[in-house]
Amino acid sequence: MGRFFRIVGELLITCGLVVFGFLAYMYWGTALRANSAQQTYTSELTKQWAAANPLTALAELRTIPAGTPFALLRIPQFGQAWQLAVVQGTGVSQLLLAPGHVPGTALPGRVGNFAVAAHRVTAGNPFWGLPSLRKGSMINVETITGTYEYTVTSGPTRVSAGDLSALAAVPFHPGEQPTQRLITLITCDPPWTGTSRVVVTGVLLRTLPRAPGS
Amino acid sequence: MYGWLWRRLPGGPGARLVQLVLLLVVVGVLLWFVVYPWASLHLPVDPSGLG
């Protein structure tokens, strides 16, 4: 009998260690993968932008393949060093490495809603601080065509996980014709769960076009 | 379980310890690079993805 309990105990301890290992992987392992991908993306973009003509590159932005980085997201409130490359697509394999542009939503600086989804935790916790953004917080997006400075107009707003109306061209009013140039950032809430989403919306404040060759 | 493993391993205590550590490393690497990445895709932890 004592032998039986010892084996059960050893099994339970082993399972516990395996689960702790999984938590460590979710926290540090996924962050390591995302960070190395981010470094690659950022250097790729910087090189690409220095070489290309922003005018001819405009057309290329229209058809970005899934998983391809095309923008740099900066939120000064999170610190000067806070910068993430945004890729096209919001599938599991894309969000594993970077915030993703919701396909079908507007491109940065365009009329409509530039929607970006990212993990709250895991993959380096890209949108951990999203609920701390307030009206007036800046969200800067740089692409090959220039830098687009958005300011937060509403949020953080909590919506249910299935409610995607925040991603509409006019946020929360699906079907309406957009007139403004907006940005929407969306992530999971509460952290670690898929119960709800938290959303922040902003409007384009000004555009800094890229000078050719800069 | 671990006692059984200890008794089954050949060699003296030193050799057994080396084998155990190696086994632990192999299991750890397998978990970290194969099992955990697979599990992370199938568990609803922070499912921020859309569609």
Q: What is the CATH number of the domain that holds A137?
A: 2.40.260.10
pLDDT at residue A56, rounded to an integer:
63
Q: What is the mean pLDDT of residues B3-27?
A: 91
Look up tokens 């690409």; give the residue. A48
Confidence at B51, pLDDT banded by 50, 70, 90: very low
Range of the domain at A104: 2-209
Lowest model confidence (mean pLDDT) among A51-65, A77-91, A151-165 = A51-65
Burial classification of residue A176, based on how many CB atoms lie within 10 Å of its CB (0-12 exposed, 13-18 middle, 19 or more buried): exposed
Whether A51 is in a domain gets the answer: yes
Whether A66 is in a domain gets the answer: yes
Whether A214 is in a domain gets the answer: no
Residues 20-39, chain B: which have Cβ within 8 Å of A? 28, 31-32, 36-37, 39
ipTM exceeds 0.90: no
Distance, in Å, from the CA atom of A41 to the CA atom of A28, rounded to the nearest integer, reads: 20
Whether A203 is in a domain gets the answer: yes
**pTM of the prediction?**
0.87
Q: Specify whether the CB–CB gap between A126 and A99 falls below 8 A.
A: yes
Distance, in Å, from the CA atom of A115 to the CA atom of A100, rounded to the nearest integer, reads: 8
Which pLDDT tens digit goes with each residue over A151-180?
999 979 999 888 889 999 999 999 999 999
DSSP E strand stretches across chain A: 69-74, 83-88, 100-101, 112-117, 138-143, 146-160, 181-189, 196-209
Whether A87 is in a domain gets the answer: yes
Which pLDDT tens digit goes with each residue over A109-148?
999 999 999 999 989 999 999 999 999 999 999 998 899 9
A58 pLDDT above the threshold of 70 = no
The residue of A88, A95, A185, A196 whose CB has the most chain B CBs within 10 angstroms, and thus the best one to mutate to test that interface, is A95
Give me chain A's average pLDDT, please: 91
Whether A42 is in a domain gets the answer: yes
Confidence at A193, pLDDT banded by 50, 70, 90: confident
Contact: B41, A167; criterion CB under 8 Å: no
Number of domains in chain A: 1
Q: What is the mean pLDDT of residues B3-31?
A: 92
Whether A57 is in a domain gets the answer: yes
Nearest CA in chain A to B2: A10
